Every structure is written in C-alpha cells, then in structure tokens.
Amino acid sequence: MKFLDSLEKRFGFLAVPNVMMTLIMAQLLIYAAILSGRVEFTSVVLGARAVLGGEWWRLITFIIAPPYLATSLFQALFLAFFWYIMWMMSQALESVWSVFKFNVFLLLGIVLSIAGALIGQLISPGAAIGITSYVMGLSIFFAFATYNPNIEFMLFLVIPVKVKWLAWFTAGMTTLSFLFAPTMGHRLVILAPLLNYLLFCRGELLHSVKSGQRRAQFAAKRKAEESEARHTCSQCGATEQSHPDRDFRYKVVDGDAICLCDECRDERP
C-alpha cells in the first residue's frame, strides 16, 4: 500500500472517522422516511436502467438507503444485527489500515459496484440489473475475516462459529451465485464489488497461503520423522515399530555402534 501511504500524507485530512456509523445513521433516516411514506424504496436503490435513463441521483441515494425492507420481526432483527456487524467490522478495519485507507477501500467498493451495475446493464440490456447498499457489506466482511479469522460470531445468537468458516461458506454461496447467474451482466454485478477486497487484501491472502504451506510442510516433515524407526536391529532387522515388545540396546564393535534386540542378544554365544 505504498501508493496509499503517499496519498494519505497529502489527503489524509479528508478522511471521515467512523464513516460507517455515518452511513448507518443516514440509512436509518431514509428507512424512517420510507416507513412514513415520504420516500419509496424503489426510488432510491440503484437501478441501472433508471440511471442510464437520467435518474443520476440513484448513484448517491443507494449508498444511504437501507439494504432491504424488513417485512417480519426476524428480518428486522437481522437488519439491526447487520448494521451492528458492519459498524464493528469497519471499526476493526480502520484500526488495521487507518481511517484514510478504510475510506478509500469503501469508496473504491462503491465506485466498482456502480461501474459493475452500469456496464453489466450495457452488456445484458435485456436484464433488469440493480444494487443496494448491501453490496458494500460483502467486501467488508471478507476483509474483516481475512485479518480476524478466529473471531467467533454467535450464529442464530446460540451457535459460536469462527468468522473464517462463515467467510468460506459465503464465498461458496457467492461462487454458486456467480456460476448460475442468468446473464453476464449479473455476473459482473456480483464480481465488481469484490475487486476492492482483492486489491487491498491480496498481500494478506498471499501471506496466509504461504503460511499454510509452511505449516503443511512442517507437519509432513514431523510426521515423516515420527514414522522413521529410531532403533533397528543390525542382525534381524526388527525395529521398535515392528516389534514394540523387544528391548533394543547398543554396543560398540570396531568403533561402530551396533544395535541388537533382546532376542538376537540371547541367540549370540
């Protein structure tokens, strides 16, 4: 992130601390306006056709619009939990990178999401392509899981699950969504919001892969060492692994240490 370091020295003062909380508060206000009937949810999300038709304000309003409208108590609780998790993960990433770098990460994700939706609509003009603020959460979640893989979340408020397993599950579901998407435009919409994650976390991902390879090599070497026999009878070839009941002892013959098991020792005159 050397390039970002140089940018931070020049423009770091422009960074917004706790920016996710600002966005969440804005989403709550819009949510209240939707519930009161002053705003329609469909008018603030990013519909690519509508934007290309001149409704440019959707490029901004989708960021401060709620990710979805809850129609049940469970969905309302999940939405509240989603906002809390987004804030918590954003705070953690700000502490890992810096306020400025997280701002850039978030802004880049928004720009890539918009570009993916618009280009996807042009690629697949017959499809109705749109995005909500939910797309920001996926890259944030993956970034958080990359730096904090062993933190546990309470699944359904009962089951403790490490975030790395949730990330792998989410990655699998995202892959399936990509593979079975109806058009190339929809695939681009799925992929585009994740590019900022790959750009920011590629170093940590490579480090994690190399660390995993080193651990695997060490474990294989240790297993191989443990599987090798330490004592081999020079007369019958028995080892402590093939004959664990035997007693192996050494004696020096012509300057060399010779190993003999108890049975071979008894047979010798």
Which of 130-144, 227-241, 243-257 has the highest mean predicted lDDT (pLDDT)? Answer: 130-144
Q: Report the relative pairing of strands 130-131 and 152-155 from DSSP bridges.
A: unpaired
Sign of the C-alpha dihedral computed for residues 63, 114, 102 and 4 taken in this order: negative
The helix (run of H) or strand (run of E) holding residue 257 is strand 256-261
Per-residue pLDDT of 135-155, as tens digits, reads 888 899 999 998 888 888 777
Instruction: Please name every residue paired with 155 in a beta bridge, in sequence order, or none if there are none.
Output: 159
Q: Distance between CA atoms of 66 and 86, rounded to whole angstroms?
A: 13
Q: Distance between CA atoms of 70 and 61, rounded to whole angstroms?
A: 19
Per mean pLDDT, which range of 33-42, 73-82, 210-219 is the poorest?
Answer: 210-219
Decide if pLDDT at 88 tops 80: yes
Main-chain dihedrals φ then ψ at residue 234, nearest 5 degrees: -75, -10
The helix (run of H) or strand (run of E) holding residue 31 is helix 19-35
Average pLDDT over residues 20-32: 92
Q: Distance between CA atoms of 58 and 61, rounded to whole angstroms?
A: 5
* Residues 20, 109 contacting (CB under 8 angstroms): no
Per mean pLDDT, which range of 14-23, 81-90, 148-157, 207-216 is the poorest?
Answer: 207-216
* pTM, 2 dp: 0.75
Q: Which residues of 51-68 are buried (b: 16+ CB within 10 A; e: fewer)?
A: beeeeeebeebbbbbbbe
Instruction: Please name every residue paired with 250 in a beta bridge, in sequence order, or none if there are none.
Output: 259
